[in-house]
């Protein structure tokens, strides 16, 4: 993810109609680094919210100032990678340590009030709240927290960090499945179509979320649409949505950004 962000106001997005998630079946290989995971028979997906671990549970510090809750909901989801090691420690303890390390870096090194992104998905498929109050607002489904994960998009998007570096490797299948479940829940809560899932590089000059994870985004949109029970837009009928969004944004910064945590914050 970029470790620089501007908070820019945006007009409130028109509320899209809600969709009711249907119960679907699917299966994902559970091996780390498995090939592209695709939906198949075997696992049931329900309309229930995924298990999201709140800030208190993973030991977050208090924000340095009140977190701003915006009147508007998000217009899209933006996917990131942490550009940290592709560890094989898939434990909850590792996920908690990652969340604390990210918050420490964002607050102490970047000078931000709290963690930059709204949610984090660990390589062990644990989903954690990032910035305080993100989970409460997601449950309400009408407002969002102002974040610091993508320049020009911090007031109109939900940012999701995925632990790991996905320039030459794909995420573990369980992590990918957790990301798809989280995206589906966010879309369901806020009335967003699956087509409104993007990568960080669509808006800023960065390699995030890595070439391999970025290449998975079309499949992610299809898998999220399947979870929602909605059709997937035909790319041939689309009018270049990425180009439209980039033109609406404040512009890509001229320089690239570091995407790492300094040594010593994680074992």
DSSP string, 216-243: THHHHHHHHHHHHT-PPPPGGG---HHH
Per-residue pLDDT in tens (0 to 9) along the chain, 267 residues: 544 333 333 333 333 444 433 333 333 333 333 434 433 333 334 445 899 999 999 999 999 999 999 999 999 999 999 999 999 999 999 999 999 999 999 999 999 999 999 999 999 999 999 999 999 999 999 999 999 999 999 999 999 999 999 999 999 999 999 999 999 999 999 999 999 999 999 999 999 999 999 999 999 999 999 999 998 775 444 444 555 454 444 444 433 445 567 777 776
Cβ–Cβ under 8 Å, residues 125 and 91: no
Cβ–Cβ under 8 Å, residues 262 and 4: no
Write down the pLDDT at residue 76: 97
Cα of first residue to Cα of last residue in the chain, in angstroms, is 20
Write down the pLDDT at residue 13: 36
- By DSSP bridging, strand 144-145 and strand 69-70 are antiparallel
Write down the pLDDT at residue 264: 73
């Amino acid at each position: 993810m970029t470790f620089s962000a501007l908070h820019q106001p945006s007009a409130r997005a028109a509320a899209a109609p809600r969709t009711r998630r249907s119960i679907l079946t699917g299966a994902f290989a559970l091996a780390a680094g498995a090939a592209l995971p695709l939906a198949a028979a075997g696992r049931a997906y329900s309309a229930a919210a995924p298990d999201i671990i709140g800030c208190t549970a993973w030991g977050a510090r208090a924000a340095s100032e009140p977190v701003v809750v915006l009147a508007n909901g998000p217009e899209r989801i933006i996917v990131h990678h942490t550009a940290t090691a592709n560890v094989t420690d898939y434990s909850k303890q590792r996920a908690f340590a990652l969340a604390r390390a990210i918050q420490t870096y964002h607050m102490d090194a970047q000078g931000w009030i709290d963690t930059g992104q709204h949610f984090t998905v660990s390589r062990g498929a644990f989903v954690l709240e990032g910035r305080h109050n993100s989970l409460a607002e997601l449950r309400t489904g009408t407002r969002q927290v102002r974040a610091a994960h993508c320049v020009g998009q911090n007031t109109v998007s939900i940012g999701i960090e995925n632990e790991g570096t996905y320039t030459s490797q794909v995420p573990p299948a369980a992590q990918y499945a957790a990301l798809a479940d989280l995206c589906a829940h966010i879309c369901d809560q806020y009335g967003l179509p699956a087509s409104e899932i993007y990568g960080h590089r669509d808006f800023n000059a960065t390699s995030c979320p890595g070439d391999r994870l970025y290449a998975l985004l079309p499949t992610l949109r299809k898998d999220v649409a399947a979870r929602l029970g909605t059709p997937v837009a035909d790319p041939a009928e689309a009018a270049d949505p990425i180009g439209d969004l980039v033109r609406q944004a404040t512009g890509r910064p001229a320089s690239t950004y570091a995407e790492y945590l300094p040594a010593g914050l994680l074992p």
